Amino acid sequence: MEHATDVAAAIEPSVESLVAVLERARLAQSPVLPPAQLRVLTIVAENRHTNMSRLAEALDVVPSSASRLCDRLEATGLLRRVADPRDRREVRLLLTAASRRLLADLRERRREALAEVLERMPAPARQDLVRALRAFEAAAADIPAGAAAGDDLRTA
């Protein structure tokens, strides 16, 4: 398997299995958030200076779609909009305590679900997997966020 397309075809079932494990963890959570809303919370959690235009850019959507996502999250108490102290014309997006707990719980559920599968693997295979995934992460680091997201959120 020298060609990248052959490797991609070979690992695709494994990637689908990984996605399924993570999706089961997401669906086991309460409340269950749609992937687009979860992505918003993740973006805001990773950057404390997120405003609506930065969010729309990160999601690769039009600002009105980003705003609708934020409306839903704000209505459920998972997101707050506040005036940016540096520029009062801007609105900064902030996580609430509930959304921080939700993200922490999801992270824990995902780790537990992954650990359950990883425990079935021999230790050397787990070590090889970590090395390979770190190399993959490094190679993917230069891909723009919108191109790697995979979800079409334009009409979210």
In this predicted structure, what is the pLDDT of residue 84?
A: 79
In this predicted structure, what is the pLDDT of residue 83?
A: 87
Q: At 67, which amino acid appears?
A: S
In this predicted structure, what is the pLDDT of residue 135?
A: 94
Judge residue 83's burial from the number of C-beta atoms within 10 Å of its C-beta, 0-12 exposed, 13-18 middle, 19 or more buried: exposed
In this predicted structure, what is the pLDDT of residue 146?
A: 53
Residues with pLDDT less than 50, the chain = 148-156
In this predicted structure, what is the pLDDT of residue 151?
A: 46
* Domain assignment of residue 72, given as a range: 4-141
Residue 77 lies in a domain: yes
| pLDDT (tens digit per residue) in 70-94 | 999 999 999 999 987 888 788 899 9
Number of domains in the chain: 1
In this predicted structure, what is the pLDDT of residue 30?
A: 83
In this predicted structure, what is the pLDDT of residue 55?
A: 95
Residue 9 lies in a domain: yes
Torsion angles phi and psi, residue 122, rounded to 5: -65, 150
In this predicted structure, what is the pLDDT of residue 149?
A: 46
Torsion angles phi and psi, residue 88, rounded to 5: -65, -10
Residue 156 lies in a domain: no
Residue 155 lies in a domain: no
In this predicted structure, what is the pLDDT of residue 90?
A: 85
Residue 32 lies in a domain: yes
In this predicted structure, what is the pLDDT of residue 38?
A: 95
In this predicted structure, what is the pLDDT of residue 27?
A: 92
From CA 69, how far away is CA 73, in angstroms rounded?
A: 6
Residue 95 lies in a domain: yes
Q: Taking the CA atoms of the chain, what radius of gyration do you get in angstroms?
A: 18
Residue 148 lies in a domain: no
Residue 132 lies in a domain: yes
16: CATH: 1.10.10.10
